[in-house]
Amino acid sequence: MVIDAAYLGLLLLLQLGTPVYDRVILGGHVMDPASGLDAVRNLGLSGGRIAVITTEAVLGRDTVDARGLVVAPGFIDLHAHGQTPETYRFQSLDGVTTSLELELGTSDVAAWYRERSAGERINYGVSIGHIKVRMAVMHDSGTVMPVGDGAYRAATPEQIDQIAKRIETGLREGAVSIGAGFPYTPAAARDELLAVFRVAGMTKTPVHVHIRPGVAGLKEALALANETNAPLHVVHINSSALADTPVMLEMISDARAHGHDVTTEAYPYAAGMTEIQSATIQDIYRSAPDARLAELEWPPTGERLNRESFERYARIGGPVVVYTNSEQMVAVAITSPLTIIASDAYWQNGTGHPRTTGTFSKVLGRYVRESHALSLMEALRKMTVMPAQRLEARVPAMRQKGRLRVGADADITIFDPATVVDRSTYREPSLSPVGIQHVIVNGVSVVANGRAVDDIAPGKAVRAPT
């Protein structure tokens, strides 16, 4: 029998009573925005949690060599559509350990969690979504978003009552937040939106809202929140604000200075994506001048649309790329200290937006390393502790995420700051980034040495107490 030196060392330490952790992460540059820790440390993980962070030598049954790499809390994405094994895999390769669908959400929270109860690759959670609830109450035939009465028919007082009741039910079933998207439900009048916000205010639940475009859209959402005392989270300020990004960030900053609970998020791309049949596209482009249709691109072919192709693809349905923002405004949104990084991941039937696979690595590669527009610690803060804090009041379990500290969940992303960068493009949106080396969810590697580990499901439900 051959006994190697490491094994002898292990035996010796066991005799001395030194703990042996499930896994150790050795020699990495540990960066924790919550505590400010920014130094080389060893980590020991046990039972899915961080057991020790130390300069001392530590022993584990399994070792991750993190020398030369940054060890950060796993990234938390507040806005990710898809929520399928395929999108969880894409997101894990981008460093995401918790993926939450808080804008569209679902109309049936209990069923949504039940479908995932065997575990997923990364942690997951959902909101009770006004859009989805309205589709159910108004019997809309759309699959992803409303295309009929869910978008275009005013609700009766009885239907508004039903909508509010279903939202309350979703909250009782543990929804993380309330989702809403006013441009997708243009017939939802102020009474109806107020009923939704009243539930939010009464239960202190944040409403994650896709606002109507521009300053007027933000004023409307702020007024609803003020009137009802509802916490407000404005999704993708970049694509809702466009050229008004600086002034709308200022409005959010002012609201916060006056004590209002308002937060926002952004994704680092100048083009958006949504369903061509949705009200938000149809209302703008159905009667737009022909030249404006060239803002739209059809993903399967990469062609910019004209009147004829717009009508043709609108009959078929599917996602369309929308080029309406400038890189300059995206940079304003991404670098503002107010914004959380959230992908708005979007993927369906084998195609989607590159933000699904590249949001977090793009911020680290392009905005931090290449243009020095953000410090690495500040970028990590926007991906970890900021999104965790947004949800903590309603979901206390989020206090154990987004941080590297003893007792926290062992959700950890380890990357090479010298090479990390996205590769996906609008034409090839499924390319995984480079430089994200190890991604650990509840102590288990879902990405090892830059490759996805398959057939594992350590991800758990993120859910409000029921």
Tokens for 150? 């869910």
User: Between residues 126 and 160, which has the closer beta carbon with respect to Zn ion?
Assistant: 126
Our CB check for Zn ion shows the closer of 103 and 149 to be 103
**Residue linked to tokens 């009048």:** 189
**Least CB distance to Zn ion at residue 235 (A):** 6
From 84-92, 157-165, 214-222, 341-349, give the range in contact with Zn ion by CB under 5 A. Answer: 341-349
> Which residue number, 103 or 108, has a Cβ lying nearer to Zn ion?
103
CA-CA distance, 165 to 155, in Å (whole number)? Answer: 14
Looking at 217-225, 287-295, 343-351, 447-455, which segment touches Zn ion (CB under 5 A)? 343-351
Residue number, 71 or 221, with CB nearest to Zn ion: 221
Q: Which is nearer to Zn ion, 103 or 173 (CB)?
A: 103
Q: Report the nearest approach of Zn ion to the CB of residue 210 (Å).
A: 6
In terms of CB distance, is 25 or 341 closer to Zn ion?
A: 341
Stretch that binds Zn ion, among 30-38, 118-126, 214-222, 340-348 (CB under 5 A): 340-348
Based on CB atoms, which residue is closest to Zn ion, 322 or 441?
322
Report the nearest approach of Zn ion to the CB of residue 273 (Å). Answer: 9
Which position among 192, 297, 344, 409 is part of the footprint of Zn ion (CB under 5 A)?
344
Contact segment (CB under 5 A) with Zn ion among 95-103, 157-165, 252-260, 407-415 equals 95-103
Name the residue nearer to Zn ion (CB basis): 106 or 442.
Answer: 106
Q: How far is the CB of 86 from Zn ion (least distance, A)?
A: 17
> Residue 274 and residue 321: Cα distance in Å, rounded?
7
CB of 344 to Zn ion, least distance (A): 4
Binding of residue 103 to Zn ion (CB under 5 A) = yes
- Residue 409 as a binder of Zn ion (CB under 5 A): the answer is no
Question: Residue 265 interacts with Zn ion (CB under 5 A)?
Answer: no
Q: Minimum Å distance from CB 102 to Zn ion? A: 9
Record the tokens describing residue 363, joined without a space.
Answer: 């911020």
**77 binding Zn ion? (CB under 5 A):** no
Residues of the shown chain interacting with Zn ion in the complex, contacts defined by CB under 5 A: 103, 344
